[in-house]
Amino acid sequence: MKIIMLGAPGAGKGTQAKKIAEKYQVPHISTGDIFRANIKNGTELGKKAKTFMDQGLLVPDELVVDLVVDRVAQDDCENGYVLDGFPRTIPQAESLDAALAKVGQKVDYAIDVDVPDENIVNRMSGRRACVGCGATYHIKYNPPKTEDVCDICGEKLILRDDDKPETVLKRLTVYHDQTQPLIDYYTKSGVLKQVDGTVDMEDVFQAIVKILGA
C-alpha cells in the first residue's frame, strides 16, 4: 500500500500520515527525515543534499527523487509506506512514477486532506508555542490553563511568525501554485481520494480507513 498525502500546510496531513503508518504498520516517510538521516549517516546522497542546504538553496528535484527512491527501496517498505511532503511538484511526481515503474511498482493512493484556506488561516493563527520548552497549544482547540502561559514550564506563549495570517496566506499561495496541479495529476491517474479535513481529526482518519479498505 503505497500512499501519498496531499493537503495544504496546516490541513493536518502529517497527523493523518502518522496515524495511517501506525495502523497499517508501514513507515511514515517525510522528506525532511530522509535528508536528516542521509546527512547524519554521511551517505553520498546526503553529502550532495548538504551542499545545497548549506547554501540555503532548494535541493534539486532529481536529488530529492533519488533520496526518496533509495528510502522506499529499503526492507521496511516492503508492505508499503506513507509519503508526507513529497512529491510537491509535477516533475517530482513524474520522476517518482518513472522510478517506481522501473521496479514494477506504482502509487496506490494519493489522499488529499481538503480544508478551505479560510479554515487554515483560522486554525494556524490560533496556534501558540512556548518560548521555553517548545510545547504547542491552540487558543480554541487546545488552550493552556492560563492564557499565554505554558502549562508545562510556565514560560510565555507566542504566535510564531510562521503562523501569522499574512505568512499563512503566502504559504497557501505557494501551495496552490505548486501542489494544486498534483491533485489534477493524480485524478487523471485514477488514484486521488479526497477527504474532508474540516471535521474532527478522528473522523478524518475513519474516512481514510474506509478508502484504504481495512
Binding site listing for AMP: 31, 36, 57-59, 85-88, 92, 160, 171
Q: Is 127 a catalytic residue?
A: yes
- 2, 88, 123, 128: the active-site residue: 88
- Tell me if residue 13 is catalytic: yes
140 is catalytic: no
Q: Are 35 and 46 in contact (CB under 8 A)?
A: yes
Pairing of strands 136-138, 127-130: antiparallel
Q: Which residues make Cβ contacts (< 8 Å) with residue 133, sequence separation at least 6?
A: 150, 152, 153, 155
3-class SS of residue 153: coil
Q: Is 128 a catalytic residue?
A: no
Out of 2, 71, 123, 127, the active site residue is: 127
Q: Which of 23, 106, 160, 210 is catalytic?
A: 160
**What is the Cα–Cα distance from 95 to 74, expressed in whole angstroms?**
18
Q: In the numeric block, which cell numbers belong to residue 27?
A: 513507515
Q: Which residues are annotated as a binding site?
A: 10-15, 31, 36, 57-59, 85-88, 92, 127, 130, 133, 136-137, 150, 153, 160, 171, 199
Residues placed in the known binding site for ATP: 10-15, 127, 136-137, 199
Q: Determine which one of 50, 164, 171, 193 is catalytic.
A: 171
* Catalytic residue selected from 2, 13, 123, 128: 13
The answer to whether the peptide bond before residue 87 is cis (omega within 30 degrees of 0) is yes
Question: What residues are annotated to the active site?
Answer: 13, 88, 127, 160, 171
